[in-house]
Amino acid sequence: MNIIFAGLAALAILVSGSTQAQASDSVGYGKQKVVYHINYPGGKEDVAYKRALKNIQNHINAVGAKNLDMKVIVHGDGIFMMKTAKTPGPLQTSIVSMKSQGVSISVCANTMKDKKIALSDMHEVFDEDVVMSGVAEISHLQEQGYTYIKP
């Protein structure tokens, strides 16, 4: 009886494992449109930026860059992320990596004006990356079906 029970238990584990493998292979996230909102200061060690960029990279890893239309909107104190990234280091590397995976990063013109930050003060920010208002851009993207994420 114990041998039969052990055999049935082993069979149940094999079937369960096989079903789980098939389920994970056949279940995907599909295409996603997301907007990440960064407007907080990074602090001395840029911990907040690192955490946000890690969330973004984890999202890319889970869904796949080809399945994502991902935008990052930076305004307020978040603009210092792009300014800090001007100096070579892990933050700059993360931003370059995100962009190479198709992530679009936009910065707020109002913030640039208020904080007296020029395009040349930030890492890889060009005219086409500037939006008039960060919050208005986020709202506009949500109206287009983008999922809002504030890491």
User: Left if phi > 0, otherwise alpha if psi is -120 to 50, otherwise beta: which for 12?
Assistant: alpha
* Res. 17: pLDDT tops 80: no
Across 20-24, 33-37, 87-91, the highest mean pLDDT is recorded for 33-37
* SS3 assignment for 61-110: HHHCHHHEEEEEEECHHHHHHHHHCCCCCHHHHHHHHHHHCCCEEEEEHH
pLDDT digits (tens, 9 = 90+) for 54-80: 999 999 999 999 999 999 999 999 999
- 79-129: per-residue pLDDT in tens? 999 999 999 999 999 999 999 999 999 999 999 999 999 999 999 999 999
Q: Which of 100, 95, 70, 67 is nearest to 81 (CA)?
A: 95
- The whole-model pTM stands at 0.79
Q: Where are the domains of the chain?
A: 1-28, 31-149
**Rounded to an integer, what distance in angstroms lies between the CA atom of residue 104 and that of residue 129?**
8
pLDDT for residue 15: 39
**What is the domain class of 31-149 according to CATH?**
alpha beta
